[in-house]
Structure 1
Amino acid sequence: MAGLIGKKMGMTRIFDENGVAVSVTIVEAGPCAVLQIKGRSSDGYEAVQLGFGSKKKSRASKAEKGHAGKVGVEVAP
């Protein structure tokens, strides 16, 4: 499965070789941190939990701070 994790920044348009306007979406695709790897033996299924972006420390819950801190990822820059 192929995919992209990002944040929509806006919309704009570009022109093709015939001069026809084409609507496009601008997506910020940033680095993602692997927060957790779930295994079939312990969780019953296989999955990867990714983190993207940042959050103000005052807006992050204690659980979010702890979960990110376990893998060495800061909640806010």
Structure 2
Amino acid sequence: MALTGCGNERVRLVPFPAELTTCADEPQAPDLPAQSPETQRARDAMTLDYILALRSAWGDCFAKVAGVKAWNAGVGK
């Protein structure tokens, strides 16, 4: 009985597509409407939440893309 695992053929790993190895640039911060002394604290809190969420999303994307790049580098060897 012949087993395919006994052959000399090596399994070829397929790299991820190149477009999955880069992230888009971070978007520009939105223009906020005119401020008043009463709304400044709320605007600051909204802006901080936006910036933290944006950076978190970018960090997540960057980590995933770095993993894909490492996979592709290992596949090429």
User: TM-score category by the smaller chain?
Assistant: under 0.3
Rg larger in structure: 2
Using structure 1 for the length normalisation, give the TM-score.
0.20
Bigger helix share: 2
Bigger strand share: 1
User: Which structure exhibits the higher relative contact order, with contacts defined as CA atoms closer than 8 Å and separated by 6 or more residues?
Assistant: 2
